[in-house]
Structures are given as structure tokens and as C-alpha cells.
Chains A and B, each alone.
Chain A
Amino acid sequence: MLQFEGWKKLLVLFVILLGVIFALPNLSSNQDDMLADGSDGSVFGFLPGKHINLGLDLQGGSHLLLRVDMDVVEQERLDSIGETIRQEFRNEKIRFAGLKVDGKAVKVTIRNAEDASKAKTTFNDLGNGLTINSDALDYAISFSEGGLTELQSNTIAQSIEIIRRRLDPEGTKEPVIQRQGIDRVLVQLPGVDDPEAVKRLLGRTAKLTFQLVDMRITPQEAIERGRVPPGSILLPSDNEDGRSFVVEKRVMVSGEMLENATASFDQNNQPAVSFQLDSAGAKRFGRVTGANIGRPFAIILDGKVVSAPTIQSQIFGSGQITGNFTVAETNELSLILRAGALPAPLIVMEERSIGPGLGADSIEAGKIAAIVGLCLVIIYMVLSYGTFGILADMALLVNVILIIAALSALQATLTLPGIAGIVLTMGMAVDANVLIFERIREELKRGRSVMAAIDGGYQRAISTIVDSNLTTLFAASFLYIFGSGPIKGFAVTLGIGIATSMFTAVMVTRLFIVLWLEHKKPNKLVL
């Protein structure tokens, strides 16, 4: 056992060296100077490792768990299916009644039994993923399981893309945006100064449409009568002036046709958003405006009318949206429009935002606690075990270096509880050494020779060390599985700490002891 073969010595030294190499990048102070691949331009640049990945609670940032409101998406799709059915039935001259969206289905009744087969063809042409139920001439069309799942996946994928474009338009911030479960998206944005701005950016669906104002009826009449002509809808104004507008449901131009949107000023120097349409959009816009000169059209954002200018002349590619905007609002709105409309509203289910001030303070506090803790433990070990205590302390330092190296190399996230985990590990790591030393003491008391005592001590202690550390590892594993965010970080550091402590206690301390023995060759040992 004390035959610590040459190759084993080399292996341990090699691991220690690796540890130092991977831990070193953390000494270079400014993380902001990091280049894209995690290295920096300084002398540390040639080292393979990277900085530790700091959690949001240490570098500051926003953590948001968002739910995609699938109900809204489903309703919109059903609405659109309803309108398609209306058009097709008109074209096919199928008479119908009671076409409406009721709950989770589109319902319609066919007037003539002979039209049933034509109607069925229309329904089938609507596409896959739908279930068609019929009761005599009453039909109900809804989404099938498969159809709904596909709708969810597509919506979430699209939402993730739009979120990314809104939060990180230049691709520099490295946010984490991932799907969670069926209908949730996790967003983690580091280094955020204003969490409210993030929520504002994600709060608007930003569905932009241009629709013609329905001139057949005034808004007041529609409110009085309580209904609007078919194919139209009553919408409120965005300006909080209590006005309403009756607009056609048919969309002339939608936000998808926008090629660009920028913040600008109108002729009265009021903030406005200038936009440019792509070629398809420009053509359509030109056609509609050309055919409707003198008529007003409504610019609608998220179901509210922002403004309703009258068409003065044929417009093609570009225009301006004016309204009751501040400059900040036009900046945000143009960014959102450029990024694109969210397919569904995002609802914030959980938020944790840490300002950078608190983050930096937490790091400071963590560092101090770690250093003080380390010193206390070191002193205590020396007082209790003398020379062997010093050797154990050297192993403890190696342990800390290995933990930092492992965290850096794996790019695992270090959180504030994670720092507590490291400090805790320092206290518990000594345990393995203590077990060994106590055994050695016992062996010496029994009168064994120095070599035999050390040998025996290691042999007996190892199984205990493995047992006790493994059980702590279980606790850490379940914390990792069921935890989230900072708690996960704690579990990771605890787990890594246990692994490195086992390694250092068994291999590294032994190496130091063997080296010391070979150097001193004592025939008596007072432990």
C-alpha cells in the first residue's frame, strides 16, 4: 500500500497540474474582457480553460419562467378556420347557418343535405390535425390530440425564436431560452440592469395589422345595436380616449410583411414608428390603398386601434405609425416589430431578478467567508495533528483548486448557495483525512511500526470514507434532480466537492505523506 508506485505518483501530480491549469483563468480579473470563446487576450489566453460560469445570483440578471397562452392560439386558429369555411362555402354556394366558434370547436349547420359531401371535402381540405364530428347536418370541427400537440410545439418554437430576437437582437448577450414542459419557456438573461424593461419587451404580443374601416355603420350605432355587420368587428382605441372603431375582419397587411421598423418623428415632431414593407406587402398595400382612396384604414396593434388615417393616395412600400407615443415607447415598439409578433401572449409565472449590485456584494461576501473558513480549518488541523495536519492542509488547498478547476472546465454554474457548498465541503473534506489519521493513531497505539500503522490506517479507513461520502452524494443528487436555479448550483458544487475530497484524501494526502516519509525516514511517529 505504501508502495506508492512511480506511475501513481505521476498520475496524482498530473491531475494536480491539470487542476491548476484549469483553475488559473479565474485569476484574470475582468470577465467582461472575455472574447467570444471564453479566453481573453492576456497571458492567460493560451490556457485551455475558461472562467467559472457565474449564476444569475452572482452576476446579476433575470430569470423568467413564462407560460405560452395556448388557449389564445387555439382560439385564433379556430377563428381563422371559421373564416376559411365561410369563404369556401360562399365559393361553393353551400348554404349554411350558425357558423361560430363555440368553446374549442368551430360549429356550423348545413342547410341542404345534398351539400353534405361538398362540405366534407371542404373540411378535409382544411388540413390535418383536426377532428370533424357530425350530428345530422350539424358539424363541429376541433383540434385532435396530435394536432394540438403539433400546434403547441410550433407555437413554442416560434415563441422562442421571437423572444431571442427581442432580447438579444445583436446576438451578444448569451441568454438561455429553452422550452420547459408542454407550454413553458425558461428565459435567463445575464447582466440585466432593468428587469422591468425585459418584462415590457416580452409583454406585448405585438400583432400588427392594417384593416379597412367599415364605413357601413358608425361605431356608436354598432354599440347601440349591440352587433356589427358580418365580417367586421368592433375594436377599442389604443389612446384611452374611449373611442371605438368598426373595422373589417379581413387583414390587408400584417406585421409579417414588415421588412423594417425604426423610431422616428412625424411632421409635428411627435415620436412615431416608420416602417417598410417587403415586396409582397408593398404590392398588396399598393393595391388596397389604390382602390380605396378617401377611405380610412385602421392600424391595429394587439387588438387596439393605434390610429386610423385616411388614405390620401396610393401607398406602396413604406409609411409611418403615429399615436400617443413617447420616444422610449417608439424605440421599444420598433424593436418589437422588427423582431416579429409573438404567436401567443406570454404569462410570467416566476421571476427572479438580481441587480448587479447585489450580485457583486454576494461574490465578495462569499469570497471572504471561504477564505476565513479555510484559514480556521487549516489552523485547527495543524494544532490537532502537527506535521500530518500540515500535509492534510496542503491536500485541502489542492482540493479547493480541483473544485474550481472542475467547475471551470465543466462550465457548471456557480451560485451563491454553491459558494456555501464549497465552504461546507472544506469543513467536511477534512473528515476523510481525520478518519485516516485517527486510524493511524490507533495503529500506532497498538504498537505497529510507522509504515505498518500508516498502511493499516489507510486500508481500514477507505471503506468508511466511501460509504459515508456516497450517502451524502445521494442527498446531493436528489437536490440536483428536484431543485432549480441556485439550489441546483448548490447540489453541483456539493457533488463535485465530495468527489474531489475523496480523491484528495485518498490519493493526494497519501502522496504527500509518502514523499515526506521518504524524505524524513522516521522510525517513530507522534501523531
Chain B
Amino acid sequence: MRLKLVKNDTNFDFLKLQKMTMVLSIFLVLASIGLFATVGLNLGIDFKGGILLEARNNTGPADISKVRNDLDTLKLGDVSLQGFGTETDVLIRIQRQEGDEKAQIAAIKAVTDILGSDFDIRRTEFVGPTVGAELAEKGVLAVICALMAILVYIWFRFEWQFSIAAILALSHDVLTTIGLFSLTSFEFNLATVAAILTIAGYSINDTVVVFDRVRENLRRYKSYEQRDILNRSLNETLSRTVMTSVTTLLALTAIVIFGGAVLRDFALAMIWGVVIGTYSSVFIAVGMLSRFDLKRVDQDDDGVEVPEYER
């Protein structure tokens, strides 16, 4: 008795849904870009600069309104307070203070003093404006470089059409993830960039597995129609795709539930990533491939040995 989430011989016509998914995807991407341009992102202090304090009340539940009043007297400008994790915890975000770094440090001290001995400061984070801008730059660079490296590698291992399909799928993933953050106003900080890169890694992982199968089938079933080959490849890899998605989701769910407040946002972003990564590998990457005329030639240089009994 086996747990089989995917039947043995599936034969979905994935490509039939091509037009619909294409429209959906274009809509999602445009919506994401639109949201990013208008609503923008809820940038964390990592990029905007500013101060973050996590405080825990060691005498009982935190009285957020009292803390807010106390902080108002300090006149520190834009201060945001939220409960965090358990009810004794409070997360205080303070905008970048006027003036140089000394002013920021002074502000931290003022807040710590006014909170007094009732509160344990669990965590302090302060990012000066210079460093914030640098981190933002590095974040963007990291994503772009990773995407380029992947592009080149796919081009090298497969054909150029595959490379284009892959980059479209990846860009779709990155853009829609940014759109999601814009829509939900989840905090966009360094951990988010890490999540985006991991999502890219996971998505390309998925895509490569399908591409690999497509390449193999293109060679093996030379007489079949391209469309049928693509569909067949998708069906053949479906059970593996579902398996890996499930195991990854299981692991991520464990993090969301048990991993603590700090990791939760990261894990949630990753869960979204698994979903969108799988979607893009199936519908966008292969969908794009279907628009090209793919070669059926025996490629000697791709390093995949076709075993004796296959020929």
C-alpha cells in the first residue's frame, strides 16, 4: 500500500491551459509591477535605515498603548509598535532620526531608558542610512547576478530556447513575489531577499528537472509532435514534482508553526515560492518552450548517456 498522490499514468493536457495561464501570468506580473510602483514595499530598516527594538515585558503582558504614549513624549518622529510573538513582546520601529549616526544612538538610549526596568530589551537593530543604501544595492546585485549565472548555465547545458524560457519563468517568480510583498505589506528586509533567492533556486531546480525530461524525450520520440512530447514530459515528471513540493512544504510548515516569530515571515514567503515555482516550471517554462521549434538532434555533448538497452 503506497501513498500515491499522483496516479500512475496521468495524461493531462497541460498545454491546453496555455492560453489561460499565459493571460493569468501576464496579469500577475503586471499587477505586481503596478503595486510596486504605486503602493511600494514596506521596506524594513535593513534598507531604509532606522531603529528596531524588540522588548519583552518581564512583569506581564505588554501594555502597548502605554508604551506608545511614553515613546510619543520622546518626539522621535514616525514610531511603529506592534505585538510580536507572544503577548509580552513588543516590536518597536523608529524611523531614521534627523542628523547623523550619533543622533540614532542617542535615540536608542532614550527609548531604552524610558522603557525602564520592566522591559528586557531582547534585540536591538540599527542601520544607518549609508549602510541601508549599501545593503539595498547588494541585495539587488545578488538577485541579478544569480539570475544571470543561472541563465548562462542553462544556455550552456541546454539550448538557447530553454534559457529564455527559464529566465522568463524565474523573472515571473521574482516579480510576483515582490508583488505579493507589496500587496500584503509584509516587511521587506534582508531575509526577504534571501527568500527570493532561495525561491529562485528552488524554482530553477524544478524547471531543470522538467527540461531534462523534455530534452530526453525530444531525442527518444523523434517522430512525435512537439506538443505531445512536452505534455508527456510534464506528465512523466508530475509525480516527482508533487513529491518534492510536498516534502518541502512539510518542512516549511514545521518552521512556520514551530520556528519562532523571526523565521515565520521567511518561511511563509518560501511556501509561496514553492507554489509559484512549481506553477512557473509547468506552465510558463514549458509553455514558452511550446512556442519555439525545438531541435530533435542527438546531442553528443550534453553528457547524458543513453544506456545500451535503450538504443
A347 touches B102 (CB 8 A): yes
For the complex, give the distance between the alpha carbons of A385 and B145 in Å: 38
Interface assignment of A380: CB less than 8 Å from any CB of chain B:
yes
Q: Closest CB-CB distance, A240 to chain B, in whole Å?
A: 16
> CB-CB < 8 A to A464: which residues of B?
208-209, 212-213
Interface assignment of A431: CB less than 8 Å from any CB of chain B:
yes
Given A384-B243, A420-B259, A468:B205 Cβ within 8 A: yes
List which A445-484 residues lie within 8 A (CB) of chain B: 448, 452, 456, 459-460, 463-464, 467-479, 481-484
> CB-CB < 8 A to A161: which residues of B?
none
User: Residue-by-residue, is B158-183 near A (CB-CB < 8 Å gives 1, otherwise 0)?
Assistant: 00000000000000000000000000
Interface centre among B126, B236, B239 (most CB of A within 10 A): B126
Which one of B15-23, B75-83, B130-138 contacts A?
B130-138
Q: Closest CB-CB distance, A70 to chain B, in whole Å?
A: 14
Given A353-B123, A357-B56, A373-B254, A366:B198 Cβ within 8 A: no
List which A344-396 residues lie within 8 A (CB) of chain B: 347-355, 357-358, 361-362, 365-366, 368-370, 372-373, 376-377, 380-381, 383-386
Interface centre among B141, B150, B246, B254 (most CB of A within 10 A): B254
Interface centre among A195, A347, A448, A467 (most CB of B within 10 A): A467
A475 touches B124 (CB 8 A): no
> CB-CB < 8 A to A347: which residues of B?
100-102
Q: Closest CB-CB distance, A340 to chain B, in whole Å?
A: 22
Q: Closest CB-CB distance, A22 to chain B, in whole Å?
A: 24
> CB-CB < 8 A to B56: which residues of A?
357
Given A357-B122, A377-B247, A434-B240, A417:B131 Cβ within 8 A: no
List which B68-86 residues lie within 8 A (CB) of chain A: none
Given A463-B304, A468-B205, A490-B194, A365:B120 Cβ within 8 A: no
Given A353-B123, A355-B123, A380-B246, A424:B157 Cβ within 8 A: no
Partner of B142, one of A370, A384, A481, A494: A481
B131 touches A353 (CB 8 A): no
Q: Closest CB-CB distance, A436 to chain B, in whole Å?
A: 10
> CB-CB < 8 A to A381: which residues of B?
247
A431 touches B270 (CB 8 A): no
B3 touches A468 (CB 8 A): no
For the complex, give the distance between the alpha carbons of A483 and B130 in Å: 16
Q: How many A-B residue pairs have CB under 8 A?
A: 246
Interface assignment of B114: CB less than 8 Å from any CB of chain A:
no
Which one of B26-34, B261-269, B282-290 contacts A?
B261-269
Q: Closest CB-CB distance, A17 to chain B, in whole Å?
A: 27
List which B206-264 residues lie within 8 A (CB) of chain A: 206, 208-209, 212-213, 216, 236-237, 239-240, 243-244, 246-255, 257-260, 262-263
B258 touches A368 (CB 8 A): yes
For the complex, give the distance between the alpha carbons of A467 and B108 in Å: 48
Given A482-B142, A487-B194, A470:B153 Cβ within 8 A: yes
B212 touches A467 (CB 8 A): yes
B255 touches A353 (CB 8 A): no
Interface assignment of A430: CB less than 8 Å from any CB of chain B:
yes
10 CB < 8 A contacts A-B:
A67-B101, A369-B254, A381-B247, A383-B2, A420-B259, A420-B263, A430-B247, A468-B209, A472-B202, A475-B198
> CB-CB < 8 A to B94: which residues of A?
none
For the complex, give the distance between the alpha carbons of A368 and B198 in Å: 22
Interface centre among B105, B248, B252 (most CB of A within 10 A): B248
Bin the interface of chain B by size.
35 or more
For the complex, give the distance between the alpha carbons of A55 and B286 in Å: 42
For the complex, give the distance between the alpha carbons of A119 and B157 in Å: 71
Q: Closest CB-CB distance, A97 to chain B, in whole Å?
A: 36
Interface assignment of B112: CB less than 8 Å from any CB of chain A:
yes
Q: Closest CB-CB distance, A408 to chain B, in whole Å?
A: 22
> CB-CB < 8 A to A67: which residues of B?
101
> CB-CB < 8 A to A416: which residues of B?
260, 262-263
B128 touches A427 (CB 8 A): no
Partner of A417, one of B141, B194, B251: B194
B2 touches A386 (CB 8 A): yes
Can you list the 7 inter-chain pairs with the closest CB atoms, starting with the nearest?
A365-B260, A427-B251, A475-B201, A373-B254, A427-B248, A482-B142, A472-B201
For the complex, give the distance between the alpha carbons of A503 and B216 in Å: 24
For the complex, give the distance between the alpha carbons of A423 and B271 in Å: 13
Partner of B146, one of A365, A434, A460, A478: A478
For the complex, give the distance between the alpha carbons of A347 and B197 in Å: 32
> CB-CB < 8 A to B4: which residues of A?
384
For the complex, give the distance between the alpha carbons of A382 and B47 in Å: 44
Query: In the complex, given contacts A358-B122, A373-B250, what are 14 additional A-B residue pairs having Cβ atoms less than 8 angstroms apart?
Result: A199-B105, A349-B128, A351-B124, A355-B120, A361-B260, A373-B252, A424-B252, A427-B244, A434-B243, A434-B244, A438-B243, A474-B150, A475-B204, A486-B191
